[in-house]
């Protein structure tokens, strides 16, 4: 598997170098915001660790309260630092504009939730079936790849189609529709996830939505920022999406662990745990869908000024 990832990455690098035109837009200079990075990373790490240990410590324990308080202090300090450094991770001047921050918020929640859903789905598919202990499907990695390949194909087709539609359709409609489809797909999956046909049925609907969301997010960033801000805007969205993915993934582990058992140091999950984990994902995807309503009308992709080589 790791060799496949290495080879595919190398092939992708060659394809990008050969066929993707270089952008003439350049940001002068560039310095890493180390203080901001440490504060943001430390704050998120403390928060995620607290959520993961909350069941063990007790949600009203001093340890949980201390880690959450430390996380909040670090994140508040991060906001203050970003207002003062010359080259912040989250440029305040850009993120204060409503079209930008609303797109960043909705896109990060929607895409981050979809990135985290793999935690639930892969555990459900690969964990063994042990009566009274574990109620996964127990598939092998090869069987998993074969059965779910139509879902991967659907994601690719949806992404390509979304790129075409983005030139003539309001991006908010595409993001909202894609996110709503993931709610529908995984909502069905909360009840129907016990066989290969059910997994494929859930995945095809959610895969259609996933492809739409993942394709439209960078396009929406292009539509609301200037060419000089595109790298910063996409970087900020990637950072926000990563934070959402980490938090939702950790919450999924906590939710699933409420219905399971630990044997020889390994956590197993019952069917109720998988169901509740999927409900968590459905709720997060629904939140991403609702946040689309905050985004004001912006220029379509064919109207936007982009930093693309002639």
30-45 residue pLDDT tens: 678 889 889 989 998 9
Same domain for 46 and 191 = no
Q: What pLDDT sits at residue 260? A: 86
Together in a domain, 80 and 204: no
Are 49 and 196 part of one and the same domain? no
Task: Look at residue 294 in the predicted model and tell me its pLDDT.
Answer: 93
CATH number, domain with residue 215: 1.20.1250.20
Enclosing domain of residue 81: 32-89
Same domain, 61 and 172: no
In the listed set 20, 54, 89, which residue is the last one of a domain according to the structure?
A: 89
Do 225 and 270 lie in one domain? The reply is yes
Q: Count of domains in the chain?
A: 2
**The predicted structure's pLDDT at residue 271:** 95
Both 40 and 98 in one domain: the answer is no
Q: Residues 135, 166: one domain?
A: yes
Tens digit of each residue's pLDDT (9 = 90 or more) over 293-309:
999 987 666 665 555 54
Angle of helix 34-57 relative to helix 230-257, nearest 10 degrees, comes to: 10
Verify that 160 and 259 share a domain, yes or no.
yes
In this prediction, residue 115 carries a pLDDT of 85
What's the rounded mean pLDDT across residues 66-83?
Answer: 92
pLDDT of residue 302: 60
Q: Which distant-in-sequence residues (6+ apart) come within 8 Å of 287 by Cβ?
A: 109, 113
Query: Looking at the domain assignment, is residue 85 inside a domain?
Result: yes
User: Are 75 and 114 contained in the same domain?
Assistant: no
pLDDT per residue over 223-275, tens digit each? 888 887 888 888 888 888 988 998 899 899 999 999 988 888 889 999 999 99
Q: pLDDT tens across 95-119, in order? A: 888 999 999 999 999 999 998 888 8
Last residue of a domain, one of 56, 89, 122: 89
Q: What is the pLDDT of residues 118-148, one digit of tens each?
A: 889 999 999 999 988 899 999 998 999 999 9
Question: Over 80: is that where the pLDDT of 90 sits?
Answer: no
**If you average pLDDT over each of 10-14, 167-171, 249-253, which comes out highest?**
10-14
Domain match, 190 and 111 both? yes
The pLDDT value given to residue 295: 92
Tell me the average pLDDT across 61-74: 93
- Using 50, 70 and 90 to split pLDDT, how confident is the model at 203? very high
Query: Would 172 be classed as within a structural domain?
Result: yes
Same domain, 254 and 143: yes
The pLDDT mean for the chain works out to 89
Residue 155 sits in the same domain as residue 39: no
Residue 18 lies in a domain: no
Q: Which of 69, 89, 109 is the last residue of a domain?
A: 89
Q: What confidence score (pLDDT) does residue 310 get?
A: 36
């Amino acid at each position: 598997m790791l060799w496949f990832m290495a080879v595919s990455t190398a092939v992708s690098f060659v394809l990008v170098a050969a066929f993707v035109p270089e952008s003439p837009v350049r940001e002068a200079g560039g310095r890493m915001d180390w203080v901001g990075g440490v504060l943001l990373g430390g704050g998120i790490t403390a928060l995620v660790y607290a959520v993961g240990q909350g069941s063990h410590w007790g949600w009203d324990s001093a340890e949980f309260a201390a880690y959450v308080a430390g996380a909040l202090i670090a994140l508040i300090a991060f906001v203050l630092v970003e207002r003062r450094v010359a080259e912040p991770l989250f440029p305040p001047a850009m993120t204060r504009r409503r079209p930008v921050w609303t797109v960043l918020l909705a896109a990060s929640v929607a895409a981050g939730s979809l990135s985290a859903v793999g935690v639930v789905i892969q555990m459900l598919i690969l964990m063994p079936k042990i009566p009274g202990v574990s109620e996964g499907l127990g598939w092998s990695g090869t069987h998993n790849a074969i059965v779910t390949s139509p879902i991967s194909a659907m994601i690719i087709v949806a992404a390509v189609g979304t790129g075409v539609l983005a030139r003539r359709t309001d991006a908010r409609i595409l993001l909202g529709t894609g996110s709503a489809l993931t709610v529908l797909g995984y909502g069905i999956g909360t009840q129907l996830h016990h066989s290969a046909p059910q997994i494929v049925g859930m995945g095809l609907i959610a895969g259609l939505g996933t492809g739409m969301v993942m394709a439209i997010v960078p396009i929406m960033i292009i539509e609301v920022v200037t060419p000089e801000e595109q790298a910063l805007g996409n970087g900020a969205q990637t950072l926000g999406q990563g934070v959402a993915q980490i938090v939702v993934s950790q919450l999924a582990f906590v939710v699933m662990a409420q219905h399971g058992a630990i044997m020889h140091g390994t956590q197993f999950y019952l069917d109720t745990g998988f169901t509740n984990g999927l409900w968590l994902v459905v709720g997060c995807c629904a939140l991403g869908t609702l946040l689309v309503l905050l985004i004001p009308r912006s220029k379509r992709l064919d109207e936007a000024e982009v930093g693309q080589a002639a």
